[in-house]
Amino acid sequence: MNRSQLIKSQFPDYVRETPLEFNIKLSERFGAKIYLKREDLQTVRSYKIRGAFARMSQLTADEKGRGVICASAGNHAQGVAYCCKEMRVKGTIVMPETTPKQKISMVKNFGEEWVTILLVGDTFDAANKVARQKAIAEEFCFIPPFDDEWVIAGQGTVGIELFNQLGFSPDMVLVPVGGGGLSAGICSVLSEISPVTKVIGVEPTGAPSMTEALKNGAPIELSDIDKFVDGASVKRVGDFNFEICKSKLDRMMLVDEGKICGTILQLYNEFGIVVEPAGALTVAALEQLNPEEIKGKTLVVVVSGGNNDITRTEEIRERWMFYEGLKHYFLIRFPQRPGALKEFVSDVVGPTDDIVYFQFSSKTGRESGPAVVGIETSHRNDRLSIEHKLEEKGFDFEYLQPNSLLFQQLIG
């Protein structure tokens, strides 16, 4: 019996066996048999409780008495918090200050009086550094989020479940990758019980830590990452995880954050499934697979988590619209004469376009005043039509790129 099988046999009632659901619409869309492994329906709405329990089940009585500490962007924190309450172990949870409020609130709810939350830094890596320092200084037992053999074994139970539930070897399993714990765990298990299955890792474009590690031949720390996909955005993958993935992972895929946002909306609108950005990674990657490679094949897509903060909905929608080329911001210098704005609305903005943002600054004594205008369009190419009309009407303007410093300064 390997570690994952051992941990699986020891799971308490609060670590659930999550459903494996056949998705008819996705299967028809991609010409394959597609199953969703619904880790968003886990006790803490992510798979992380598996690894948290696996590691904490190995604590000695002395270690439990001293208490535990962990660092997390949210899901590992919730898993540790829940285990702290159930095992009656005091825990300190160190989280980035940028963690969505919904995840912070859920950690409090799951851990109740057994946990203390400490918000530090802007990234998981900053929080992790503080947590490790406090573990040494205050003699807490550190519960790693991914770089630990027992944590990897706990996450590997996802692989055991999906294989047993399916009843045969899937052709492919798509797994989201952050620090690498889930991918390493599933790779380890399936290499033993289903060696014909290809395990494909998926990362957000803005945080390609495993992709770069595999290119480099060893884990490297990225200088900067996009933290939007908070459940899968780390600067450096774990050493244990990398050693497993470099030989057992079939390949890595990268998915744009804007595409991930569209998938979040799609899963909710089409299937009523609420996922966080990391939970949408693998479904978003389906469109990038070679249709001939997956035709008629059986794919298992791991939906890793559903801890999405409803207050992020507008940000998610906007990032998707930017990605699809359906939302645009312009800095326009309007002539300060009667009728200029009316001319813009009547002759520049298309009949199906919506002005969703308008901020005008009148300059006394100037011939023109600048305005930031946000426009939602119906088609990707509509931006070209707007720019052509602006030039035709003699408006001085500048297109604001969403990632530019000027955009961030003017729009925020």
- Which residues participate in catalysis according to the annotation? 48, 304
First vs last C-alpha separation in the chain: 54
**Vertex 52: Cα angle to 49 and 57 (nearest 5):** 120
Per-residue DSSP letter, 46 = B
Tally the C-alpha atoms within 13 A of residue 374's C-alpha that lie toward its C-beta: 13
> Using an 8 Å Cβ cutoff, are 34 and 286 in contact?
yes
3-state secondary structure of 34: strand
| Helices (H), ranges, 92-194 | 101-111, 124-138, 149-166, 181-193
Helix, strand, coil % in the chain, rounded to nearest 5: 50, 20, 35
349 φ, ψ (degrees, to nearest 5): -70, 130
Cα–Cα distance for residue pair 395/168, rounded to 1 Å: 64
Residue indicated by tokens 């509509």: 382
Q: Please give the helix or strand (H or E) that residue 25 lies within, else none.
A: helix 24-30
Query: What torsion, rounded to 10 degrees, do the Cα atoms 220, 222, 227, 232 define?
Result: -20
Pair of tokens at residue 407? 């955009």
Tokens matching residue 96: 């980035």
358 Rama sector, left if φ>0, alpha if ψ -120 to 50, beta otherwise:
beta
Helix (H) or strand (E) holding 370: strand 368-376
The Cα–Cα gap between 339 and 362 comes to 15
CA 319 to chain centre: 14
